[in-house]
Structure 1
């Protein structure tokens, strides 16, 4: 049994994900701060999902900031990120890639449906397009970060060592960091109500927390994949 364990461990160390796992474990304070942040974000999203919309018109929820599909996407991504952070060594990179691939496909289909509703002239349908476009980009960015992990250099634009190319990864990390700044500053956030339809009232600052956490958490994982 011990021989099998050592063989499996050696095989895992041959995968690029092992380097990411070591990086995540090495910076414990940052890792567990991210875990706490994702737990908080997940709790806020679950609370939002538990509330009933005030009104339903033409199949769309009219409550300020209500977007159950977007909230569900946030929750799924939070759970994926928590799994990668809490169990960095035990996680199977191939399984994570499978989950992320499914997420990209489903989110793209939902985005397509929202774009069709928008083009059909349904009231307020444009608010959901930008919000779900964000989820597609976030899931695709994490899928790209996992490319080359547990494989032999297959996948999207991989570098010579078999992992994702550092340039695009750092550019994506910077993009999410900039988005986090926009989300954190009310004056900037309120300029984009159609793109990021978060509430602007008294609960606005709390409502934007899951989005902000997702921005920073995704940027952190992208940088970890590059550094590793």
Structure 2
């Protein structure tokens, strides 16, 4: 599957190497080197995904991503960075990144991640299955969700997390359960990525003035009120 990609990287050597690798997978790659150019390109052209360096001149990658999301640009974004500390990862995810990859990057892995994100965003329209909790409705087959009749713009992980809450409305889900069911881990990593994604999901559910449906259960996990 060929994708139209925006690569935002200020290291010219790395950008050239990475773009050559991605073109080797039959992708089309547009390279820009700073945050301002990234925002202009993302707003002008239709990209299937963005590979976004965190450390950029003029406007840093996190700020670029925040502005993209505020402007309604919803294409998948993989944040690419040399900063691998937990705080940086959480900041990137909370800003709206769909994935976070630490340099050096293996091209085959990056290609696989791009395909996974793109597949997750393609909606299937043949089935009509839905699950419901209160005024929240989700269609797993279509990868779509609504609250009070208004569509929610969710990433792959946010949608999977929402479905898990909807299926288990009024039941407490521990962090370990969410790690296993949403991320596929059979252990609990020493990070708070669950908390970061739950926070993002809560914000999106309340975007149009709705009440906060997801409550934290101290020391345990979270519960969605149906």
Q: Which has the higher strand share?
A: 2
Higher relative contact order (CA 8 A, sep 6+): 1
Asked if Structure 1 and Structure 2 have the same fold, meaning a TM-score greater than 0.5 normalized by the shorter chain, the answer is no
> In terms of Rg, which structure is larger?
1
Query: What is the TM-score with the length of structure 1 in the denominator?
Result: 0.28
Structure-2-length-normalised TM-score: 0.28
